[in-house]
């Protein structure tokens, strides 16, 4: 289960990625954030951001709130 949910529904890219990038440093290492984002670009850009920033992309979950992306703060 995620420790925190970031609701970025209705936001267009790059806003969901910016939201994760802002929130991550405020959280302890190891925290899992679930990003709710319905912009189709988020499916590409959140994993790509994790790779570029050395954060851990845990996967995509599609639930009742639409697509969500789980990211763990790695450093």
Partner 1 sequence: MSASPVYLDAATAAPLHPVARQALLAALDDGWADPGKLYTQARRARQLLDAARAAAAETLGVRPDELSFTPSGTAAAHAAVLGGLAGRRRVGRRLVHSAIEHSAVLHAAERHVADGGEATSVPVDRLGGLDVDVWAAAVRAPGVALAALIAASHEVGTLQPVSEAAAACADAGVPLYVDAAQAVGRVPVPGGWSVLSASAHKWGGPAGVGLLVVRKGTRWESPYPADERESGRTPGALNLPAVVAAAASLRAVAADAAAEAARLSPLVDLIRSRVAAEVPDVEVVGDPERRLPHLVTFSCLYVDGEALLHALDRRGFAVSSGSSCTSSTLRPSHVLEAMGVLSHGNVRISLHRETSAADVERFLAELPGIVAALRAEAGVVGL
Sheet holding 66-72, edge to edge: 4-7, 32-36, 66-72, 56-63
User: Which residue in 3, 4, 52, 74 binds partner 1 (CB under 8 A)?
Assistant: 52
Burial 52-62 (b: 16+ CB within 10 A, else e): eeebebbeeee
Q: Does 39 bind partner 1 (CB under 8 A)?
A: yes
Stretch that binds partner 1, among 1-9, 34-42, 63-71 (CB under 8 A): 34-42
Size of the site for partner 1 (CB under 8 A): 18
Q: State the catalytic residue, choosing from 9, 11, 13, 58.
A: 13
- Look up 13 and say whether it is catalytic: yes
């Amino acid at each position: 289960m995620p420790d925190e949910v970031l609701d970025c529904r209705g936001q267009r890219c790059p806003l969901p990625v910016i939201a994760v990038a802002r929130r991550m440093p405020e959280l302890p290492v190891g925290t899992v954030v679930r990003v709710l984002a319905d912009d189709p670009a988020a499916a590409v850009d959140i994993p790509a951001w994790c790779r570029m920033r050395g954060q851990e992309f845990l996967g995509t979950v599609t639930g009742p709130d639409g697509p969500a992306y789980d990211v763990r703060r790695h450093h």
